[in-house]
């Protein structure tokens, strides 16, 4: 196989794999040609095509191979690199109107890059070199790397080792490597990847040692079963026609992965028992990944456009309340973008030399993402008008007898096409209730951690003792003191704020 | 045909009608047995069964027939009557988790009751008596009355008479009655009704005289075509199984009605050309109907229950943030209820003697309904966890090979059933993204008027001149004055507030 | 002394009392003539004058004396009575633009009326008769009753009895009565009352028996010290002129009361050691009192009026965003009113026969009050323009040299007076930052319990098990069952919702 | 006079000036020693002391003089420079808890730097050189430059030239320069400046030519009158003691400036009649200045600290709702910071070579500032408890007789000082209702333009046509097309987003 050069070659690379995928109680013959799965493949293919059309935005020169590869395969070595990820993510959100599924893996190996370095430094292991070798391989083929983090958690009051067979863990090992079992839920784009990096999902204790396993596995490794997730309006992709589905070309993908003694060879293992680094890995991953939700500002651009377009087609004059709602949507959407790039821009180097995002701002960004798309969806439904929920079917619209009547009675502004109006309304339905509502709303809620996870992380970074001192000084309780205040605060979050390494 | 006594008899009453209904480009043979339509019929049937189970709540003694009939057929003659409608609506929202489609007609004839009285008083017509005769007929059979108000509006910058064939209007007349043509969009529950009252949808001018037509028509009158509306996840009702659909029993119904020279006999005409009463009718109807959205507090009770139930099944300990979100949902939900019953309670008699809601508070209620269910839906998705968007299909859950694995890996709290967890998650999906999300969210947005309509109505009722005077007096600009302030304000909204007729 | 007939007689009734009041480190000679205290007296006096001007609204025929007395002295014996309290409260908010300080006492004896009845029923005491005798006395003179509930709490991790001398408690007793010591904070209008009812502030245990004391005390009883609270811009009332203060006539009053062995005779004791009734008393009091915050909708009417008036004076054309903000303010303001009267209307009788508010809705009302006035204040500042924060002093405005310049340069719309503009801006400052901002904002936050107290109470009333069952039934987990669902829910909150005793 | 080296020298530089300042109807003898004015001088002095303590943060090497000067005098020549302004602003907000008044001038000459360049380029004038000469002079002395933009607007329906004497304009001219008259309102820190740059405040037409005047004037130029603005609790600074004022050391300053034929010599004129550049100047100024409101995140840090501190002193255990409110405050506060630095980071070079902020993101930042501090203030009042509004005076707290009682009864957590509790509460009062509430709240609302101004600017930048096309393509209405989409969007806002010049 040669290096994947564009979307078409990517799609071809997914053919003829031996994957065990269940959907509607049946094994999927060929996911590439499955009408319900294909839109998710198209979305990922778009990441390749954008790299061709806008190489500065979506590709880099690999430091490993010297050739141009996807920016999704890049280890960030500057704040600018982090920001550029965001810019690429926004563009892909604009182009697909949904989740293009390629950020998890990117954020995973960026986190692992520094964590493996620090494990090696402490323990004399060689995970970091293995990681670089693995990335070199990925760069050679320009592959898609998926990231598998979220275990099914079973009884959440119990740690992994007290549950028989839930979290992914090492079940046996031999000289050549280890075998893992367990299940991962909510695996975005897993079937559309070439390789998957398996990682632990929570802080682990000494007794959870077997769960402290990180490794790379080809998606078609023996012992893996995928069960495809059902989402709102999923079967519309399987109907005839391209109107009712709303966005005929693109969709997201969520599946469950069950591992049954799946083998990881030694050279693809990046953590093996170092349980006390699990929390570090999770935190670094989420620091990257929460900021990656800037992609939703690109999806939001589409929704704003759809809302503005339907206002035109509805023939409402430029009423002030309509303009005001578009402004509000934009204000919210740009807040997501701005907090995201601020998190990237205020990134800082790790010991390994690569850059990581500002954790506080990454959490602020993601926390907005758990709310603002919902409000934007509400506003889009407002601007759409009631028709978004009462439209007749595509078949009726094209019916020889009543089709003409519908096109007459459902016309909006003079001189516009009824079908255009229907198509935009179906797109709004798609993004707020239908196929891609999961990608725009529910995934925005739960991806990279549910809202409470961000609040906890914000609490950890908020340096409340420093702030209390500011208040005490101004209230006249405490002297400004001898210590150099500015120097003292140069640690943690305010170290990054005032550190001036911009 | 005899008086309908319960839900089963109601469903039977819908059989063997000669309706022309299009769905997916085909004529529907029998809507009663159509798997996608039946849930909407069940929801309406529930209004009959509740009347049997809780007669005080859902029925009244008819002043026309002396027999017990549905409260949905009652002309309210006290503020208590208005409040009781709300209580019945909340209960039916609780029982069905969706729209039970029977409020439009109720609110329509309550509005017409007083409008016909006032037309007669002014013009010497006899619409009011006709209306009472019509209601007597409806009471005799305990029928469902639908209300058809919302015209397709075509080019919104043009009045009805400047558009060739959009708004419903009189096309011809003879001695026995009139014939109407045009189209009505977003007709909630129309196919599940026995009779439909057709009404104008906006303020009309002298040149719109032909559009000032109100009349009652049997749903199977010749010349009517229904086109069924598609909604999110509608086809899940047509799949095997009862899990993935989320709420297998109940659903809403929206359709478009096209009238092609449909006849209305003279004795069923309640307005004919009195164009200057169109605005009065619309305003009175919306005053009732915006407050009828109290039903969504009943649906909200189900969503709160589902959110609380999934928190249990997820096995999360009673985390404070989870309790807090349930409290927030309740706070929002009860605000809808409280503003609704306040609008009813502060109702007042019309010239005809029946009672109408307080317009300001009815609009405040509905305006909350355009926002709060969306926020409640967002919170429910938060509490649900990511699984709400990645669940496997029912067929996979019941699959001989992987069904057991799924039931193991997707189990939540110890001792609970995975299937119960799946069912509750599918219910949350149903209400926030799926089949009944339209009934809970989009209909809450647009039904009875979109948000801006309420804001305009609030502006009209807000008596800003009175309030400016209050400010001027306190600022020392104006004397309190000779006039009895309290007396002066006894008109409009503050007349109702301080009028003390409680 | 004779029965107080109007505001003037009320003010006279406050003269020549022997009160020990500290303010700015000095004893206040005569509070009635103190320029900083007088506005609070005027506000309370307004309650008397309104009773003269609008007797239906603000007075009742006493069931004890047969004469007309203030509605603030009335024990509510119907839901209508509760609603009428709200209507009177809104009017007084409109007339004073601040807190008129008379609700605490009203809500206290209404709560005590039923609690004393139930103690007597259980324990054979005679508190209820004493209460009626006390109320008869109050009615004879048409007195102001204050309520003293909020103890200084010291170390909140310790119960009252583990703190040496903080909460008010019995220090000694003799045959004629008891003596109490301790301190009460945040005593609204205490100095403007004739009598004060002292009550416990929290749930008490057996060891807190001495703290379970309720009794009535004349404000000038020996052993009482009042320390007047400072609030934003309080000293402006003491300056020359009437412009800069914003609302020259009316203000609120908060003071601390220190009891040093203050005597309560036996016939004025309404609880003495029945510690297990303390929680009932607190809950009933807050059920009345949280709904009493409907008064803020009257204050809000003034602020809306001021915002609309300043928009006129600023000469801005009727820009859509300005109208929209006035609508938003009204929407929020009417939500407070509507939830309040809904709580009253859904009131229910106690064992003693008097009526108490619906607890759920009372808490929903108050919870809105902790947020909405702040948002309304923000919007009023928005509409005011920057001048609200940069206005020159009254002395400069009236200065012979620069006064004319200021009146020229600060003029707004053509033909309007600069001074009027200044006066309205100072009123907005008064209500959002200044003298009455405490009454409109901070008191709305903390009076009758801080926000978290309402959330806890909402949780207690929300009947989550009932709601979970609704969800399970619709999800297909549970059968509807044999039991009569409607009957079963006729307890607690939903008992009131569906009980139909309207 | 020599170059100002620190805060003390700055304060000395303000002595012995001949300024005509009115306050309370009297001329102010010496503003430096006036107790109500001094806190505002202290706040500005802090900008000098921070430059000494943290030179990297608050100073630069002047490109004009080669010596170290305040960063407030720096023309930004990189995005990093813009970001560093924000970091300095946040620190000063933390140190002073209020407005330090030095941003207007900084943002004014940064805008003028490029506008003068472009006027010169078009018209062959030499304003740009004059500006550089002026800045060199300012750098030599390390002076404070104020910016005077906001005219009193009189009748807003009329342009400047149709109002006799309101907007500042040229009244006469001679060979040496021009004379200006008119009034400027809301002049932040004007009395604390050394020089003021006068600029037009709105878009001007050809007939408004005389109003198109920009020039620099020393604050003590003949013909200038200052009238000091009154703000909430201003006179507390004039009372004895340092507790009740809340923040004894720092405050803001707002005054009105009346110009009566004030002379500007030719070499200090930077625009003279080029009316079509007025809009460009205003827009560039607001682009800098709206993002400068990042300072409020520093003030917000103080308020968060005060809220956390009072929770400790109140002795409430770490209740989850308290932690949650501190997290919420932080989330809001960091959103201000993040959107601000994103606006700076996405800055871009002007033709003159200096850098200007991203206009969209600057407006998004400021728009949050018009809301979030109000919500943070509300939450701080929530955490404070009712005592924040009922505290006794400092004199009572220190009174020989009752001081001890107050210190006993008002104590919170064991082992803490009552006075500390009082001081923190007074600080919260100061920031949310009192002296610095204007600086934290009202100025956040109206400074750099009221909320609607930002919404208009967001609308101008939102590129809705581009977004509509995104929607049409995904809805299947429009082909992706031949044109290179990515190239096409490289203009306006999305040009900056995807331009990749990071």
A289 tagged catalytic: yes
- pLDDT for res B426: 98
- pLDDT for res B499: 82
Of A24, A378, A455, the CB nearest to B374: A378
Of B91, B308, B475, the CB nearest to C423: B475
ipTM confidence: 0.97
Q: Does B46 touch chain C (CB under 8 A)?
A: no
Rounded distance between C-alpha atoms, residue D433 and residue A221, angstroms:
65
For residue range A321-341, list pLDDT tens digits in order: 999 999 999 999 999 999 999
B254 tagged catalytic: yes
- How far does chain B reach from its first CA to its final CA, in angstroms? 42
Q: How far is A382 from chain C (nearest CA, A)?
A: 17
Phi, psi of D3 (to 5 degrees): -65, 135
Residue A343: pLDDT above 70? yes
Higher per-residue pLDDT: A239 or C484: A239
Q: How many CB atoms lie within 10 A of CB B65?
A: 18
User: Which residues 62-81 of C have a C-beta within 8 angstroms of B?
Assistant: 80
Rounded distance between C-alpha atoms, residue C186 and residue C438, angstroms:
12
For residue range C304-326, list pLDDT tens digits in order: 999 999 999 998 868 999 999 99
- CA angle, D389 then D395 then D398, to 5°: 110
Segment (H or E) for D477: none
CB contact (8 A) between residue D57 and residue A500: yes
C328 tagged catalytic: no
Q: Which residues of D touch B322 (CB under 8 A)?
A: none
Rounded distance between C-alpha atoms, residue C491 and residue C142, angstroms:
38
- Cβ contacts of residue C242 below 8 Å, gap of 6+? B476, C248
How far CA A410 is from CA of B81, B124, C427, D292, in Å, comes to 38, 39, 52, 49
Residue B322: pLDDT above 90? yes
Residue A172: pLDDT above 60? yes
Q: Are B195 and B247 in contact (CB under 8 A)?
A: no
Q: Which residues of A touch D468 (CB under 8 A)?
A: 305-306, 308-309, 312
Rounded distance between C-alpha atoms, residue C126 and residue D157, angstroms:
72
- CA angle, D430 then D434 then D439, to 5°: 85
Mutate to test the interface with B, among C342, C435, C486, C496 (most CBs of B within 10 A): C342
Of B50, B339, B502, the CB nearest to C80: B502
- pLDDT for res A317: 66
Rounded distance between C-alpha atoms, residue B327 and residue C456, angstroms:
8
Query: Side-chain half-sphere of A384: how many Cα atoms within 13 Å?
Result: 31
Share of chain A above pLDDT 90, in %: 92
Rounded distance between C-alpha atoms, residue B281 and residue B115, angstroms:
6
- Extract the residue ranges of chain D whose pLDDT is less than 70: 317, 481-490, 500-502
Q: Which of B47, B76, B113, B254 is catalytic?
A: B254
Q: How many CB atoms lie within 10 A of CB B371?
A: 17
Per DSSP, the three-state class of D473 is helix
- For residue D359, give the nearest of D296, D299, D295, D282 by alpha carbon: D282
Tokens of A20: 């065990």
B293 tagged catalytic: yes
Q: Are C475 and B306 in contact (CB under 8 A)?
A: yes
How far CA A45 is from CA of A48, A110, C322, in Å, comes to 5, 22, 48
- pLDDT for res B483: 47
Number of A:B CB contacts under 8 A? Answer: 235
Query: Side-chain half-sphere of B405: how many Cα atoms within 13 Å?
Result: 22
CB contact (8 A) between residue B467 and residue C305: yes
- pLDDT for res C316: 81
Mutate to test the interface with B, among C294, C300, C334, C335 (most CBs of B within 10 A): C334
- Extract the residue ranges of chain C whose pLDDT is less than 70: 317, 481-490, 500-502
Mutate to test the interface with A, among D241, D332, D471, D499 (most CBs of A within 10 A): D471
Of A360, A467, A498, the CB nearest to D305: A467
C188 tagged catalytic: yes
Q: Does C207 touch chain A (CB under 8 A)?
A: no
Mutate to test the interface with B, among A232, A238, A324 (most CBs of B within 10 A): A232
CB contact (8 A) between residue C304 and residue B500: no
Minimum CA–CA partner of C311 in chain B: B468
Rounded distance between C-alpha atoms, residue A500 and residue A485, angstroms:
15
D99 tagged catalytic: yes
Q: How far is D320 from chain B (nearest CA, A)?
A: 7
Q: Which of B128, B289, B367, B368 is catalytic?
A: B289
Of D156, D402, D405, the CB nearest to C314: D156
Query: What's the mean pLDDT when you consider all of chain A?
Result: 95
Per DSSP, the three-state class of C178 is strand
- For residue B193, give the nearest of B72, B355, B22, B69 by alpha carbon: B72
Q: Are B195 and B217 in contact (CB under 8 A)?
A: yes
Higher per-residue pLDDT: B316 or B31: B31
- pLDDT for res C502: 44
Q: Which residues of C touch D452 (CB under 8 A)?
A: 319, 321
Rounded distance between C-alpha atoms, residue C370 and residue C378, angstroms:
14
How far CA B301 is from CA of A433, B434, C426, D266, in Å, comes to 21, 18, 45, 74
Q: Does D236 touch chain A (CB under 8 A)?
A: no
Rounded distance between C-alpha atoms, residue D361 and residue D497, angstroms:
11
Q: Which residues of B touch A225 (CB under 8 A)?
A: 402, 405
Q: Which of A47, A98, A103, A274 is catalytic?
A: A103
> In terms of C-beta density within 10 A (0-12 exposed, 13-18 middle, 19 or more buried), how is residue C414 classed?
exposed
For residue range A271-308, list pLDDT tens digits in order: 999 999 999 999 999 999 999 999 999 999 999 999 99
Residue B396: pLDDT above 80? yes
- Cβ contacts of residue D36 below 8 Å, gap of 6+? D23, D228, D234, D235, D237, D238
- B26-27/B21-23 β-pairing: antiparallel
Rounded distance between C-alpha atoms, residue B273 and residue B176, angstroms:
16
Rounded distance between C-alpha atoms, residue A407 and residue A423, angstroms:
13
Tokens of C470: 């609704």
- How far does chain D reach from its first CA to its final CA, in angstroms? 42
Calculate the CA dihedral of residues C37, C42, C47, C51 and round it to 10 degrees.
Answer: 150
- pLDDT for res A484: 53
D274 tagged catalytic: no
Tokens of A81: 């690199």
Tokens of D269: 């004129």
Q: Does A318 touch chain C (CB under 8 A)?
A: no
CB contact (8 A) between residue A57 and residue D343: no
CB contact (8 A) between residue B321 and residue D321: no
Query: What's the mean pLDDT when you consider all of chain B?
Result: 95
- Cβ contacts of residue B228 below 8 Å, gap of 6+? A392, A393, B21, B22, B23, B28, B36, B37, B191, B253, B255
Rounded distance between C-alpha atoms, residue D132 and residue D140, angstroms:
12
Q: Determine the length of chain C.
A: 502
Per DSSP, the three-state class of B351 is coil
Q: Which residues of D touch B321 (CB under 8 A)?
A: 320, 324
Q: Does C321 touch chain A (CB under 8 A)?
A: yes
Residue A481: pLDDT above 80? no
Task: State the pLDDT confidence band at B315, using cuts at 50, 70 and 90.
Answer: confident
Minimum CA–CA partner of D186 in chain C: C390
Q: Does B484 touch chain C (CB under 8 A)?
A: yes
CB contact (8 A) between residue B186 and residue A22: no
B99 tagged catalytic: yes
- pLDDT for res B164: 82
Segment (H or E) for D51: helix D38-53
Query: Side-chain half-sphere of C253: how many Cα atoms within 13 Å?
Result: 31
Q: Does A16 touch chain C (CB under 8 A)?
A: no
Q: Does A161 touch chain B (CB under 8 A)?
A: no
- B195-198/B145-148 β-pairing: parallel
Rounded distance between C-alpha atoms, residue A145 and residue A31, angstroms:
18
Q: Which residues of C touch B83 (CB under 8 A)?
A: 345, 502
Report the neighbours of C using a cutoff of 3 or more CB pairs below 8 angstroms: A, B, D
Residue B489: pLDDT above 90? no
Longest dimension (CA), chain A: 88
Q: How far is D414 from chain C (nearest CA, A)?
A: 6
Q: Are C106 and C73 in contact (CB under 8 A)?
A: yes
Q: Are D73 and D102 in contact (CB under 8 A)?
A: no
Per DSSP, the three-state class of C21 is strand
Task: State the pLDDT confidence band at B419, using cuts at 50, 70 and 90.
Answer: very high
Query: Side-chain half-sphere of C135: how many Cα atoms within 13 Å?
Result: 27
Radius of gyration of chain B (CA): 24
């Amino acid at each position: 196989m040669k290096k994947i050069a564009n979307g078409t070659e990517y799609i071809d690379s997914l053919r003829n794999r031996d994957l065990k995928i269940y959907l509607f109680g049946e094994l999927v013959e060929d996911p590439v040609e499955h009408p319900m799965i294909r839109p998710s493949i198209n979305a990922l293919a778009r990441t390749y095509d954008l790299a061709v059309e806008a190489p500065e935005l979506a590709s880099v020169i690999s430091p490993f191979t010297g050739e141009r590869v996807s920016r999704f395969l890049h280890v960030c070595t500057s704040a600018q690199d982090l920001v550029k990820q965001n810019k690429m993510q926004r563009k892909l959100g604009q182009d697909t109107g949904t989740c293009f599924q390629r950020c998890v893996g990117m954020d995973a190996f960026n986190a692992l890059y520094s964590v493996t370095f620090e494990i090696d430094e402490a323990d004399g292991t060689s995970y970091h070199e293995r990681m670089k070798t693995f990335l070199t391989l990925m760069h050679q083929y320009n592959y898609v790397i998926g990231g598998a983090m979220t275990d099914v958690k079973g009884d959440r009051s119990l740690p992994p080792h007290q549950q028989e067979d839930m979290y992914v863990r090492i079940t046996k090992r031999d000289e050549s490597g280890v075998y893992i079992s367990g299940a991962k839920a909510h695996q975005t784009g897993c079937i559309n990847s070439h390789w998957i990096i398996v990682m632990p999902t929570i802080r682990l204790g000494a007794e959870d040692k077997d769960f402290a396993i990180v490794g790379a596995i080809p998606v078609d490794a023996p012992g893996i079963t995928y069960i495809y997730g059902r989402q709102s309006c999923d079967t519309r992709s399987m109907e005839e026609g391209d109107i009712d589905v709303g966005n005929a070309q693109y969709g997201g993908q969520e599946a469950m992965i069950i591992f049954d003694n799946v083998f990881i060879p030694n050279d693809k293992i990046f953590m093996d028992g170092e349980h006390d680094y699990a929390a570090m890995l999770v935190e670094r991953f989420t620091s990257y990944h929460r900021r990656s939700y800037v992609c939703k500002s690109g999806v939001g651009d589409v929704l704003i456009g759809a809302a503005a377009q339907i206002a035109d087609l509805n023939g409402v004059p430029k009423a002030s309340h309509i303009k005001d709602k578009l402004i509000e949507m934009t204000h919210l959407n740009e807040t997501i973008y701005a907090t995201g790039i601020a998190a990237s821009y205020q990134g800082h180097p790790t010991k390994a030399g690569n850059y990581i995002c500002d954790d506080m701002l990454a959490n602020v960004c993601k926390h907005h993402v758990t709310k603002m798309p919902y409000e934007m969806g509400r506003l889009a439904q407002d601007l759409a008008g009631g028709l978004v929920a009462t439209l007749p079917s595509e078949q009726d619209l094209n019916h020889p007898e009543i089709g003409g009547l519908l096109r007459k009675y459902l016309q909006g502004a003079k001189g516009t096409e009824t079908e255009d109006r229907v198509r935009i309304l179906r797109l709004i339905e798609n993004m707020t209730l239908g196929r891609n509502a999961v990608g725009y709303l529910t995934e925005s809620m739960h991806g990279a951690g549910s809202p409470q996870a961000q609040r906890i992380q914000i609490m950890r970074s908020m340096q409340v003792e420093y702030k209390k001192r500011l208040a005490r000084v101004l209230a006249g309780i405490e002297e400004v003191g001898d210590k150099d205040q500015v120097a003292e605060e140069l640690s943690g979050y305010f170290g990054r704020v005032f550190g001036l390494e911009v």
